[in-house]
Amino acid sequence: NAGVTQTPKFRVLKTGQSMTLLCAQDMNHEYMYWYRQDPGMGLRLIHYSVGEGTTAKGEVPDGYNVSRLKKQNFLLGLESAAPSQTSVYFCASSYTTGSATYEQYFGPGTRLTVT
């Protein structure tokens, strides 16, 4: 049981390049999330998904796109990377019953640097 995994762990991009971050979970969770963490800013939600084939915007969605083609995978794309997207990216997943909020399980993070 690997929990939540993220690929890659580190990446350096040049301004304007594109990339996709992959998140996978093996807990059969419905909900998945992408956050970014910047110094002094805590965790900010980029996009999230409440089930296969559905996605929604979070607090800071600009410059990112997501897809959830399979329940266990949640992809975060940067179409044209900017230095402001230098950050640590965390994926998370959670269980739901529809009537309660449960804890989110986090991946190990991806450290992205855009030069």
Partner 1 sequence: AQKVTQAQTEISVVEKEDVTLDCVYETRDTTYYLFWYKQPPSGELVFLIRRNSFDEQNEISGRYSWNFQKSTSSFNFTITASQVVDSAVYFCALSELTQGGSEKLVFGKGTKLTVNP
Q: Which stretch binds partner 1 (CB under 8 A): 21-29, 66-74, 76-84, 103-111?
A: 103-111
Within residues 28-87, the interface with partner 1 by CB under 8 A covers 31, 33, 40-45, 48, 50, 56, 58
User: How many CA within 13 A on the CB side of residue 84?
Assistant: 6
Residues that bind partner 1 (CB under 8 A): 31, 33, 40-45, 48, 50, 56, 58, 88, 90, 92, 94, 96, 98, 100-106, 108-109
